[in-house]
Structure 1
Amino acid sequence: MPAPSAAAPALTESEVTFQGSGVELSGTVLAPAGAGRRPGIVIVTGAGPGPRDDHRAEAEAFARAGIVTLIYDR
């Protein structure tokens, strides 16, 4: 019987808005719970519209690895 896996680290999630080329954009910041100061990245999608949730799995993986991650709607 395989050993039980460790529980995935808890994440915090914050909704944000910011200005980009005269338009307000909405996004989500994912971070390890109690992160304090950590490295961060922004996941930028290719051309065309696309919801941020298309990249949520990657954002959660980075956050679980200790990297604060922003995903946003284009």
Structure 2
Amino acid sequence: MRSRNDVLSYCRTLGRAKVLVGLNIANEPRQWEWEGRGLRLISTYLDRSEDPVEGPILLRANEGVVVLRQSPA
């Protein structure tokens, strides 16, 4: 687990699959500094569909997101 700029983040791995979780614990937007590409699976705001993302990501106030990380080609 890691915390920077009021964003907690961690990675879960199963085999070759890596899932990243970013949680903004501030009451204002924060930049989640991560590198790479992935597929946003869900946001705690429940208003975004699954879509490709590339780090870093701007998280809204108190937002959490789950990203399925893509392996480098």
TM-score (ref. length: structure 1): 0.42
The structure where strand makes up a greater share of residues is 2
The structure where helix makes up a greater share of residues is 1
- Larger gyration radius, structure 1 or structure 2: 1
TM-score (ref. length: structure 2): 0.42
